[in-house]
């Protein structure tokens, strides 16, 4: 077996030290969580500690703004990090162009990085690649913008179908709570339905955004005047589907639906 300057154990056997160090890091993590403010956007600090020739944590889940601290005090290690794995073998004390966060050769006993960009980062000790390797998964961060989107609705619907069965609309939502979905006509299209020329709502429903982020709504015309107009429709009328919701802020989406009436008389 090769006898390197950092011990002759194969990397796998370093795991003996792993079991002993986990409770310490778990306690450290729990202590940090307890100190963190209750706000959901609070930045966290994650700890990774060298335990022999492995890191005690190899998968860190972080949010944009979080910091990860690596501790290799007492060991001959360094920490290199990049978003792509190193090409080929890494040299002793050589990050091969990746970012060096700290090295025992420079008198460091660890390193740290605050993540401002989401992505998957790979960290490793260049002396003990590939045994000392792990990933930091950095996600999103910050409140997302309110969003709604009409995902599916018939592009065309027969006036008869709208009267009898209604119109199913599937939408997606994020960071909104309540709102309305309505089907309306204006101008010439309202006239075709014998509804004057103003904006007339044909069907309307209250919607709320659940944890699934999906809304399925059945729109049915309830107004008698609208029903009579749909029965009398000749040719096509263009209608609009408007989804308006709000949460931290307003969000809306618009889609078109063509309503087909009876054939025009010649
Ligand atoms: Cu190392």
C-alpha of residue 138 to centroid of ligand 1, in Å: 23
- pLDDT confidence tier of residue 196, bands split at 50, 70 and 90: confident
C-alpha of residue 179 to centroid of ligand 1, in Å: 56
Lowest mean per-residue pLDDT among 2-16, 135-149, 230-244: 2-16
C-alpha of residue 40 to centroid of ligand 1, in Å: 35
C-alpha of residue 119 to centroid of ligand 1, in Å: 24
C-alpha of residue 125 to centroid of ligand 1, in Å: 5
Residues of the chain with CATH 2.60.40.2550: 147-260
Lowest mean per-residue pLDDT among 77-86, 125-134, 141-150, 233-242: 141-150
C-alpha of residue 228 to centroid of ligand 1, in Å: 79
Q: In the predicted model, is pLDDT for residue 38 greater than 50?
A: no
Fill in the DSSP letter of residue 137: E
C-alpha of residue 127 to centroid of ligand 1, in Å: 5
**Residue predicted with more confidence, 100 or 64:** 100
C-alpha of residue 253 to centroid of ligand 1, in Å: 53
C-alpha of residue 25 to centroid of ligand 1, in Å: 18
* Cβ pair 65, 140 in contact under 8 A: no
For residues 95-106, give the mean pLDDT: 91
C-alpha of residue 43 to centroid of ligand 1, in Å: 28
Cβ neighbours, 10 Å, residue 139: 13
C-alpha of residue 99 to centroid of ligand 1, in Å: 15
- pLDDT confidence tier of residue 90, bands split at 50, 70 and 90: low
Q: Where are the beta strands (DSSP E) in the chain?
A: 45-51, 54-55, 59-63, 67-71, 78-82, 99-103, 110-114, 119-124, 133-139, 147-153, 156-158, 167-174, 176-185, 200-208, 214-219, 236-247, 250-260
For residues 128-153, give the mean pLDDT: 82
How many percent of the chain have pLDDT more than 90? 57
C-alpha of residue 148 to centroid of ligand 1, in Å: 48
Quick: pLDDT tens for 55-85. Answer: 999 999 998 889 999 999 999 999 999 877 6
C-alpha of residue 172 to centroid of ligand 1, in Å: 47
* Average pLDDT score over the chain: 82
CATH tag, 147-260: 2.60.40.2550
- pLDDT confidence tier of residue 88, bands split at 50, 70 and 90: low
pLDDT of residue 233: 93
Residues of the chain with CATH 2.60.40.420: 11-139
pLDDT of residue 237: 94
C-alpha of residue 117 to centroid of ligand 1, in Å: 26
* Selection from 19, 69, 79 nearest residue 48 by Cα: 69
Q: Which CATH number fits domain 11-139: 3.90.180.10, 1.10.4080.10, 2.60.40.420, 1.10.1760.20?
A: 2.60.40.420
C-alpha of residue 76 to centroid of ligand 1, in Å: 6
pLDDT of residue 87: 64
pLDDT of residue 241: 95
C-alpha of residue 77 to centroid of ligand 1, in Å: 4
C-alpha of residue 126 to centroid of ligand 1, in Å: 6
């Amino acid at each position: 077996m090769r006898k390197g300057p950092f011990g002759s154990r194969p990397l796998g056997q370093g795991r003996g030290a792993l079991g002993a160090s986990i409770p310490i890091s778990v306690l450290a993590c729990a202590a940090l969580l307890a100190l963190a403010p209750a706000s959901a956007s609070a930045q966290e600090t994650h700890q990774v500690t060298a335990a022999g020739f492995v890191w005690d944590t190899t998968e860190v889940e972080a949010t944009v703004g979080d910091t990860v601290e690596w501790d290799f005090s007492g060991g001959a290690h360094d920490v290199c990090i990049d978003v792509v794995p190193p090409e080929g073998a890494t040299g002793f004390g050589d990050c091969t162009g990746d970012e060096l966060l700290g090295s025992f050769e420079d008198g460091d006993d660890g390193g740290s990085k605050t993540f401002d960009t989401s992505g998957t980062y790979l960290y490793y000790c260049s002396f003990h690649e590939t045994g000392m390797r792990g990933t930091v998964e950095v996600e999103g961060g910050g409140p997302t913008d309110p969003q709604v989107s009409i995902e599916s609705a018939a592009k065309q619907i027969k006036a008869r179908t709208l009267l009898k069965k209604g119109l199913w609309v599937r939408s997606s939502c994020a960071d909104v709570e309540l709102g309305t979905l309505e089907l309306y006509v204006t101008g010439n299209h309202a006239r075709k339905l014998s509804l004057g020329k103003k904006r007339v709502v044909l069907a309307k429903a209250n919607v709320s955004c659940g944890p699934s982020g999906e809304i399925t709504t059945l729109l049915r015309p309830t107004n008698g005047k609208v029903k009579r107009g749909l029965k009398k429709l000749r040719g096509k009328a263009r209608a609009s589907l408007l989804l308006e919701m709000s949460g931290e802020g307003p969000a809306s989406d618009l889609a078109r639906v063509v309503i087909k009436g009876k054939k025009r008389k010649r």
